[in-house]
Structure 1
Amino acid sequence: MIHDHKGQNFQINALLVSHKIKFSEREIECAINIFNLNNYFGTSSNSSLLQKDLILTNYINHQPQVENAVSYLIASVQNRLVSIDNLNWIEENDYRLLIWLLNRLSTQYNRLIIIHGINNPYKTFLYNIDGINISIDEKILFLQNCFSFWNVNKLSDQEIKWLDPLNSEQLAWAWQYLAKHGLQIECFNFTYNDQSKYMSILACLDNLSYGTPESKELILLKMKKTWSQKKFRDSGKAKKPYHLPLTIETQAQLEELAKLKNMNKSKVLEAIILKEFNEFKLK
């Protein structure tokens, strides 16, 4: 077919010769879903493709009128798969975009995302958009809308530069922060290593663009501020409470001194100690 030419060795293609068509992995997966053969034969999205090829071939060969079944198969697949031209703006390794797309697909069509391939969001996206039983025109419109929205609304480099893809501690913190505040994308996340976790974090933040610009900016500002506060606390520079046993008279004098200097008691003590310490060093 029009999608690729890697399927020449599949058994199903022997039935398609007269139509001058060849099925690849994508067409076989689509056909399996159209005829609901996964449920019938107990296979899944990640079962062997050769096994699925055999199942599909046997299924068509056992139809009462094989040629009619082949024609129906071709027409059904052609009416389900959008051409590669509509997908060429999606890079296979752009995990941030793919995670975002999978969640848009799930949200818009109320679809449970089915994982396809090991750590392969691109195959997973193709498998799920191909599996939705809507017209090609609607799928193309969905992709066009996503393309337009993504290019306009994804977070800029300036907005995400504070996140370090090499900082495992920060990534773990950011992921937990998103979960705590209900900002994680629910249906599909990709977090098997730091790189994929970083991409999932960015996709979650990109998803904020579906709210108001003001709320997105406020959420990002608060998240950055919280991270800065954590770094400061962890650096050991943050002040820790320290209690000194003072007589009642000394406490009263400290409070009076604080009022006279218009300072809190801790600042007064710090100033006195610093002054005495510097004088001692000069001796």
Structure 2
Amino acid sequence: MAIEKGGVVLLRLPEPMRNFKSRELRWLWWYLEPELRSIDEQRLQYDDISNSDRIQRMAKAIKSARNPSEFENQIMTCYNDNIVPEEHLQWIDKENHRLLIWCINNLSRNVRERRHSQLTSLSMPYLSRTLAGKRYESIITAIDIWETNKEEKINFLLQNKNEWSNYKTPDKEIKWLNSKDKDQIVWAWEYLEKHQKSFRVPKPDDMKECYDLVLASFDDLSYGHPAAKKLFLEQMKRTWSQKKFRDSGKAKKPYYLPLTIKTREKLEWLADNSGQKPAEILEQLIEESYSKYTKTQ
């Protein structure tokens, strides 16, 4: 279990664990958490240290057990009983952040509604706290450390795979959204926030992330009544179309007002000194007066 390198004795994981890759090592770290706490007061997180340091700490934790050989067997038994084969995880595309957001939200929903035993908030990734680049591994780790048997996990994954197919918003209902139109995507996110339909996360800076969150918010609406979701999306699409029409200037029709010469001179002076057009100044004044008046009603 130990080798010497440059005069320094390096611990190695027991033989059955030496072929563990990133996923298995992350699971092992969680499994050994009580032992790691007892030998190290720093309580470092998995991602805080290098892979070689992790292995050193985990090997030390195993070696420090009262009966290391028996503890190794216990670890491998738990590993074989709990770790789901990769084939059951292939539908979770690590590049599809819309799906990953849905998975994290659905895991949290299962915790809130207590649908599955031993699936607790302690092991759940939270959307607001999980970096985009860590979503996939956070989901897999949450499933791996869930303290239940492999069969229940496989059934859970199959159920979620089918649920995703049923709850994902169809492409025909989102084709009006242009992923390359920054103004539209930002508007869509703000519209969802205003109507309390968005996820409770900080406003995303990255447009791709914003687009994924908008679509994931649409998908989350599927858990409500289908008619309510349809009505909301239709209203949202209609509101965007109206905004585009207004912004294009086509909604504005010329409207002539008979002004006295002195009033016209004042208006032109305001235009010259503000950099606005006379019509823009009038529109602004009318909007301000209207807003002030309606608030007092």
Candidates 33, 37, 49, aligned match of 1:36: 33
Correspondence for 2:95:
93
Which amino acid is 1:107 matched to?
A: R
Candidates 215, 228, 241, aligned match of 2:241: 228
Aligned counterparts of 2:57 and 2:203: Cα–Cα separation in 1: 31
Aligned counterparts of 2:44 and 2:87: Cα–Cα separation in 1: 30
1:27 equivalenced with 2:24 (yes/no): yes
Correspondence for 2:3:
none
Normalising by the residue count of structure 1, what TM-score does the alignment of the two structures yield? 0.73
CA contact (8 A) 2:32 2:61 kept: no
Normalising by the residue count of structure 2, what TM-score does the alignment of the two structures yield? 0.70
Candidates 125, 141, 158, aligned match of 1:113: 125
Secondary structure in 1 aligned to 2:222? helix
Residues 118-175 of structure 1, C-alpha deviation per residue, up to 9 Å, x if partnerless?
Answer: 6242222212222333333332222111111112231111111001110111111111
Change (3 A) 1:33 1:239: same
Residue range with higher mean Cα deviation, 94-103 or 188-197: 188-197
Aligned counterparts of 1:176 and 1:73: Cα–Cα separation in 2: 48
Residue range with higher mean Cα deviation, 123-132 or 60-69: 123-132
Residues 178-236 of structure 1, C-alpha deviation per residue, up to 9 Å, x if partnerless?
Answer: 111111133x7894521222112111101111112111101110111111111112112
Correspondence for 1:194:
207
Shift of 1:75: 2.0
CA contact (8 A) 1:153 1:206 kept: yes
Residues 219-271 of structure 1, C-alpha deviation per residue, up to 9 Å, x if partnerless?
Answer: 11011111111111211222379683589xxxxxxxxxxxxxxxxxxxxxxxx
CA contact (8 A) 2:11 2:56 kept: yes
Change (3 A) 1:79 1:43: farther
Change (3 A) 1:168 1:20: closer
Which amino acid is 1:86 matched to?
A: H
Aligned counterparts of 1:109 and 1:225: Cα–Cα separation in 2: 36
CA contact (8 A) 1:33 1:131 kept: yes
Correspondence for 2:62:
60
Which amino acid is 2:182 matched to?
A: S
Aligned counterparts of 1:241 and 1:125: Cα–Cα separation in 2: 58
Shift of 1:82: 1.5
- 5+ residue gaps, structure 1, are 1-10, 248-283
Aligned counterparts of 2:105 and 2:11: Cα–Cα separation in 1: 33
CA contact (8 A) 1:117 1:123 kept: no
Aligned pairs for 1:238-253 (under 5 A) are: 238-239=251-252, 244=257
Secondary structure in 1 aligned to 2:73? helix
Residue range with higher mean Cα deviation, 211-220 or 28-37: 28-37
Aligned counterparts of 2:203 and 2:88: Cα–Cα separation in 1: 24
Aligned counterparts of 2:156 and 2:11: Cα–Cα separation in 1: 31
Candidates 137, 144, 153, aligned match of 2:158: 144
Aligned counterparts of 2:250 and 2:47: Cα–Cα separation in 1: 52
Which amino acid is 1:138 matched to?
A: E
CA contact (8 A) 2:12 2:55 kept: no
Aligned counterparts of 1:163 and 1:84: Cα–Cα separation in 2: 34
- Pairwise CA RMSD of aligned residues? 2.9
Residue range with higher mean Cα deviation, 20-29 or 63-72: 20-29
Aligned counterparts of 1:189 and 1:85: Cα–Cα separation in 2: 34
Change (3 A) 1:198 1:109: same
Correspondence for 1:252:
none
CA contact (8 A) 1:116 1:123 kept: no
Change (3 A) 1:166 1:71: same
Candidates 50, 71, 74, aligned match of 1:72: 74
Correspondence for 1:46:
47
> Which of the pair has more CA radius of gyration?
1
Aligned counterparts of 1:98 and 1:83: Cα–Cα separation in 2: 19
Which amino acid is 2:243 matched to?
A: K
Which amino acid is 1:87 matched to?
A: L
- 5+ residue gaps, structure 2, are 1-9, 113-120, 261-297
